């Protein structure tokens, strides 16, 4: 399973007028980061950064002057996103901006079925909130002390850790011995988890005296005692074997 955790920074809040100025995404396969990322700053083609947006992410008009325009990075971005579920916090905002940029270039827009909103998951799991990214980092003990401003790649890295916690914690990603149904490795497709038996059973922790005391207790419980069903030797003893 391939997923992209991503975030955008923009010139403002209106996707019909404002533009994406930063994209950051990281790739997960089977809920593990692969190390593959896509990060780029983008020239908004004359659209000025709104002061309120500047206060959030700190990206200035001057710093964007020599960056590529969206059409210059679109093919690489589409290739990075292709075939993956897209995961974002308050995803409607980010997907709205992505689709607005794609539509300007006649690129097919992202289908809603591919989108996972971690804010919606957090609100279901923690209905009393708060459920901002910073609040969720505090809730799950994720270090975000280096996050003094919003940044697309940093926020994606933090969100990846939050996402794993939201869907059940790191245990959900533990793959002890993974094989495809055809016996190959788990590089893709449907996988199963095989938990190998111990090479030797654990040593018994009950003494002979404790076992005998339990046996005597079972004898007082009657012929329908559940222990006579789950422990065959008791049933044999009742038949005089």
The alpha carbon torsion through 54, 58, 59, 63 (nearest 10 deg) reads 120
Is the distance from CB of 210 to CB of 218 less than 8 angstroms? no
Residue of 57, 89, 146, 150 marked catalytic = 150
Q: Is the dihedral of CA 172, 185, 78, 154 positive or negative?
A: positive
65: its two tokens? 């002057």
Q: Is the dihedral of CA 127, 129, 132, 133 positive or negative?
A: negative
Q: How many CB atoms lie within 10 A of CB 2?
A: 13
Q: What is the DSSP letter of 222?
A: -
> Closest Cα partner for 223 from 240, 211, 209?
240
CA distances from 122 to 30, 46, 89, 130, 221 (A): 21, 36, 9, 9, 50
The count of C-alpha atoms lying within 13 angstroms of the C-alpha of 225, restricted to the half-sphere facing its C-beta, is 17
150 carries an active-site annotation? yes
- Please tell me the distance from the alpha carbon of residue 172 to that of residue 165, in angstroms, as a whole number: 9
Annotated catalytic sites, by residue? 150
């Amino acid at each position: 399973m391939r997923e992209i955790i991503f975030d955008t920074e923009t010139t403002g809040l209106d996707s019909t007028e404002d533009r994406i100025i930063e994209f950051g995404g990281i790739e997960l396969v089977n809920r593990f980061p692969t190390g593959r990322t896509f990060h780029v700053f983008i020239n908004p083609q004359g659209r000025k950064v709104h002061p309120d947006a500047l206060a959030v992410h700190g990206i200035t008009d001057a710093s964007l002057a020599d960056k590529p325009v969206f059409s210059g990075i679109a093919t690489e971005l589409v290739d990075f996103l292709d075939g993956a579920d897209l995961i974002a916090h308050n995803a409607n905002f980010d997907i709205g901006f992505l689709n607005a940029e794609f539509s300007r270039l006649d690129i097919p827009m992202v289908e809603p079925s591919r989108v996972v909103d971690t804010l919606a998951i957090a609100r279901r799991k923690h209905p009393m909130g708060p459920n901002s990214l910073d609040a969720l980092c505090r809730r799950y003990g994720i270090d975000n002390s280096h996050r003094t401003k919003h940044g697309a790649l940093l926020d994606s890295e933090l969100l990846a850790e939050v996402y794993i916690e939201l869907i059940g914690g790191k245990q959900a990603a533990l793959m002890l011995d993974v094989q495809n149904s055809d016996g190959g490795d788990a590089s893709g497709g449907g996988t199963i988890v095989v938990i190998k038996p111990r090479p030797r059973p654990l040593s018994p922790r009950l003494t002979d005296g404790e076992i005998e005391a339990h046996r005597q207790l079972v004898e007082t419980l009657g012929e329908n005692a559940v222990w006579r069903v789950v422990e065959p030797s008791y049933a044999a003893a009742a038949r005089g074997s």
